[in-house]
Amino acid sequence: MKPANINRNALILVGAIAFGLPLVIRSATYLHILVLLYFYAYLTTSWNLVGGFAGVLPLGHAAFVGIGAYTSTILSLQYGVSPWLGMIVGGVLASVVGILIGLPTFKMRGAYFALATIAFGEGLRVMVENIDYLGPLNINGPRGLQIPPLNTGLANFMFSGKEPYYYIILIMLSAVLLLTYWFSRSKLGYSLISGGEEPEAAMALGVNVARAKLIAMALSSFLTALAGTFYAQFTLYIHPKSIISLDLSFELAFIALIGGRGSIAGPVLGALLLRPLSDFSRIYFGATLPGLHLVIYGVVLILVMTFQPRGLQEPLTRLYRWVIGRIFGGAAMEASK
């Protein structure tokens, strides 16, 4: 059995298990946890397009989540626009903002770029918190926006159960993983990776590093904003401190760095490992020790960067290959005879 066939069969098995979980797990609480796990895996994979492949460290991606969430919600509540259409409008708006941010900030290096993105994210949060009306748009300031659960159904992106949300975010995650796979093997992806690792050498070879980074930023911003609309429709309530928080931006970076930035599986593995830690720390210590999950992330990040600088995806990939070799090695040998 060829390794490509083994990997394909393993992916098919994982996909079948993921799509079949709601048939086994009937608890709304557990489905809610799984939806949030996939949500963070999707967000981190979207972040990884620029934060992983481009070799920079954006720490303000929560701003794009907020742009997506507020755009679709305002259009739906005030103008009756379908959240599905509002999702696309929010994504396009986030892409434009991402390009406008990237034009000056991609000229910065290291901590300066990270600080610039933090300033943008926090500036947007403060602005939304202190503005009730932006022209004809009712933002409602720190009180946030609540979506009344009146008309459920696919057309309104609103459901009474958790299962539809589960499948929507799972499809979104699968799509962004396929996009990342294609991106990592495209000319644009190679240009971005070379520009992230050795920008001067890449430019000397004729690679337009600035253009590659701007395209990656636009794509990452667009995909991140789509998740904002999903979150708004899933929770039916958004406010600045939950959707445009610095905590969320940091959490995406932690998950990617610990899982393995610049890889396809790293963001998913990071979310699978870290989100349960975050959920349980909030459940048991949220009232007495708020923000403990970020402290835990920091400790885990120090340990991972010390012993596995490329993230946990490397040892887990080696473990996967060892297990596959033990399971299919004999069958492969028999097939080759």
The model's pLDDT over 269-294, given as tens digits with 9 standing for 90+, comes to: 999 888 888 777 777 776 677 777 77
- What is residue 7's predicted lDDT score, i.e. its pLDDT? 67
Q: Is 287 exposed, middle or buried, given 0-12, 13-18 or 19+ CB atoms closer than 10 A?
A: exposed
Other beta carbons within 10 Å of 226? 24
Give mean pLDDT, residues 5-27: 81
The whole-number pLDDT of residue 275 equals 86
Look at residue 174 and tell me whether its pLDDT is greater than 90.
Answer: yes
Mean pLDDT of 257-276: 89
Predicted confidence at residue 235, as pLDDT, reads: 94
> Which 8-state DSSP code applies to residue 133?
E
Q: What share of the chain is helix, strand, coil (3-state, %, to 5)?
A: 75, 5, 20
In whole angstroms, what is the distance from residue 144 CA to residue 214 CA?
31
In sequence order, what E strands does 127-264 have? 133-134, 137-138, 145-146, 237-238
Residue 17 has pLDDT above 80, yes or no: yes
Answer yes or no: is pLDDT of 109 > 90. Answer: no
Place 236 in a pLDDT band, splitting at 50, 70 and 90.
Answer: very high
The predicted structure's pLDDT at residue 262: 86
Q: Which residues are CB-contacts of 95 (< 8 A; sequence separation ≥ 6)?
A: 218, 219, 221, 222, 225
- Helix 266-285 to helix 246-259 angle (10° resolution) is 130
Give the ranges where 27-61 is alpha helix by DSSP (H). Answer: 28-51
pLDDT band at 329 (very low <50, low <70, confident <90, very high): low
Averaged pLDDT, 141-170: 92
Question: In sequence order, what are the residues at sequence separation of 6 or more whose Cβ sits closer than 8 angstroms to the Cβ of residue 20?
Answer: none
Kindly report the average pLDDT of the chain as a whole number: 86
Least confident of 25-29, 90-94, 206-210: 206-210
pLDDT given for residue 145 in this prediction: 94
Using a cut of 0.85, tell me whether the model's pTM lies above it: yes
Return the pLDDT at 285: 74
Res. 266: pLDDT tops 80: yes
The pLDDT assigned to 333 comes to 40
